[in-house]
C-alpha cells in the first residue's frame, strides 16, 4: 500500500487501497433512514478535503461520537477513495487511528496537514499594519491600534470561519486583507460615492477581529462558549467601547463605527444586530459578502480534478454548483 495524496488516490483504480495521513476537519452524528447512527466526517491531507461516513458498528465510531477524537487531531487512515456522483469525494475507511511517534518513518509531518491561506501572509500583515497607521483622526487610529496590539497575534493565524470561507490558517487575515484591497480599489474609482474613508477601513479592519475568540484556535475551529452564546459581533462591540474609552475616542465617529460592526452581516436573519443605515456600513457589508462568496466559489473550483468541470453543490448558494470558466 502506498502512502500518497488524496488527489492521487482519487485518480487511481478504486480496487487499490489507500493509506495516508489526514487531519479531522469536521465530525457530526447523523441517523440513516433505517435508524442506524453514523458519524459524517471530513478529512484533509492539507491540500484537499474529502468526506466519509463511519457507521456505529465500526471501531472508529465510538471515539468520534464521544469526542475522544477531536476536530484538528491527526490520523493515519487506510481505505478507498472515490468520487460519488451525488455526494462528491469520499473515503471508505477500513482502519483509522491517531498518529503515533513512529509514523514519522512513513512520512508523517504535522506541518504538511496545515491548510494555509494561499497568499503571502507576511505581506498581508504589512498591508494591514499600514492601513491602521493611515487612519484619521488620531483617537480612531489609537483605538484600532490598541485592539490589534492586544489581539493581533491570534488574528494572524486564525481562520475566518469554521467551514464556510477562508477556513484555514491565516484565513482571517487573508479575508481582512483582501477586503482592504477591494475597498481601496473601489474608493479610487472616479466619481465613486464619497464617504468617510477612515471609518470604512476601520470597520473592515475590526469587523471579524473577535472571531479570534468566537472560534477555537486553528486547526480545531469549533465555536467556543463565548462564540455560541454571544458571537463575534457583540464581542467586538464590547471591545470597541473599552478601547475607545481608554484613548478618548467617542462622539458620532464612534457611534458610526460601532454601527458598521453591528450591521456588517447585512440582514437580521444572518446575525446582524442592525441593518446597514450609512454608506460606510453598506459598503463594508457588500465587500464582506462579495469577498466571502467569491472565495467559496474559487475554492470549490480550484478543487476540481482535470476531468471535472462542475463543483460539488455549495449549500451557501442555495444548493448550486459552479462550473469552470472557458480557457
Q: Does position 1 have pLDDT exceeding 70, yes or no?
A: no
> For position 39, what pLDDT does the model report?
92
CATH of 6-108, one of 3.40.718.10, 2.40.50.140, 3.40.50.300, 2.60.40.420: 2.40.50.140
- With 0-12 / 13-18 / 19 or more C-beta atoms within 10 angstroms meaning exposed / middle / buried, residue 153 is exposed
Residue with cell 489526514: 22
**Sheet strands (E) in 16-73:** 18-31, 37-44, 49-55
Query: pLDDT tens digit string along 91-140?
Result: 788 899 999 989 898 888 888 888 788 888 999 999 999 999 999 999 99
- Percentage helix, strand, coil, to 5, in the chain? 45, 20, 35
> For position 96, what pLDDT does the model report?
93
Do you know the residue count of the chain?
327
- Confidence bin at 15 (pLDDT 50/70/90): very low
Nearest residue to 230 via CA among 200, 210, 248:
210
- Confidence bin at 7 (pLDDT 50/70/90): low
| DSSP codes of every residue in 207-248 | TTTTHHHHBPSTTT-PBPHHHHHT-HHHHHHHHHHHHHHHHT
Query: Please, which residues have CB within 8 angstroms of residue 99's CB and are 6 or more apart in sequence?
Result: 21, 74, 75, 76, 108, 110
Query: pLDDT tens digit string along 207-257?
Result: 999 999 998 888 777 889 999 999 999 999 999 999 999 999 999 999 999
Nearest residue to 54 via CA among 65, 67, 69, 68:
65
> For position 131, what pLDDT does the model report?
98
> For position 311, what pLDDT does the model report?
83
Query: pLDDT tens digit string along 285-306?
Result: 999 999 999 998 888 887 777 7
Domain boundaries, the chain: 6-108, 121-299
Is pTM beyond 0.85? Reply is: no
> For position 11, what pLDDT does the model report?
56
Q: How far is CA 116 from CA 134, 155, 240, in A?
A: 28, 14, 29
More confident residue, 153 or 168: 153
Q: Does position 43 have pLDDT exceeding 50, yes or no?
A: yes
Amino acid at each position: 500500500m502506498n502512502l500518497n495524496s488524496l488527489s492521487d488516490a482519487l485518480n487511481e483504480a478504486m480496487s487499490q487501497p489507500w493509506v495516508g495521513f489526514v487531519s479531522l476537519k469536521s465530525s457530526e452524528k447523523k441517523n440513516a433512514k433505517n435508524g442506524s447512527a453514523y458519524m459524517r466526517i471530513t478529512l484533509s491531507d492539507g491540500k484537499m478535503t474529502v468526506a466519509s461516513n463511519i457507521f456505529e458498528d465500526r471501531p472508529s465510531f465510538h471515539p468520534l461520537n464521544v469526542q475522544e477524537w477531536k476536530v484538528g487531531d491527526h490520523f493515519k487512515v487506510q481505505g478507498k477513495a472515490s468520487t460519488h456522483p451525488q455526494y462528491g469525494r469520499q473515503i471508505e475507511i477500513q482502519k483509522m487511528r491517531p498518529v503515533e511517534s513512529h509514523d514519522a518513518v512513513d512520512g508523517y509531518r504535522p506541518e504538511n496537514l496545515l491548510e494555509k491561506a494561499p497568499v503571502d501572509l507576511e505581506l498581508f500583515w504589512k498591508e494591514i499594519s499600514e492601513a491602521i497607521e493611515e487612519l484619521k483622526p488620531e483617537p480612531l487610529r489609537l483605538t484600532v491600534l490598541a485592539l490589534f496590539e492586544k489581539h493581533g497575534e491570534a488574528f494572524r493565524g486564525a481562520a475566518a470561519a469554521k467551514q464556510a470561507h477562508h477556513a484555514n490558517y491565516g484565513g482571517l487575515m487573508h479575508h481582512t486583507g483582501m477586503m482592504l484591497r477591494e475597498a481601496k480599489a473601489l474608493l479610487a474609482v472616479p466619481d465613486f460615492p464619497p464617504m468617510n474613508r477612515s471609518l470604512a477601513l476601520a470597520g473592515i479592519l475590526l469587523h471579524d477581529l473577535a472571531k479570534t475568540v468566537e472560534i477555537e484556535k486553528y486547526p480545531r475551529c469549533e465555536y467556543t462558549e463565548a462564540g455560541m452564546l454571544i458571537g463575534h459581533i457583540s464581542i467586538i462591540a464590547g471591545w470597541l467601547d473599552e478601547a475607545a474609552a481608554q484613548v478618548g475616542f467617542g462622539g458620532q465617529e464612534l457611534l458610526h463605527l460601532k454601527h458598521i460592526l453591528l450591521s456588517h452581516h447585512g440582514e437580521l436573519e444572518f446575525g446582524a444586530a442592525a441593518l446597514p443605515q450609512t454608506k460606510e456600513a453598506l459598503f463594508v457589508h457588500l465587500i464582506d459578502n462579495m469577498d466571502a462568496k467569491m472565495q467559496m466559489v474559487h475554492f470549490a473550483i480550484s478543487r476540481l480534478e482535470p476531468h471535472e468541470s462542475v463543483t460539488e453543490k455549495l449549500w451557501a448558494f442555495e444548493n448550486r454548483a459552479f462550473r469552470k470558466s472557458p480557457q
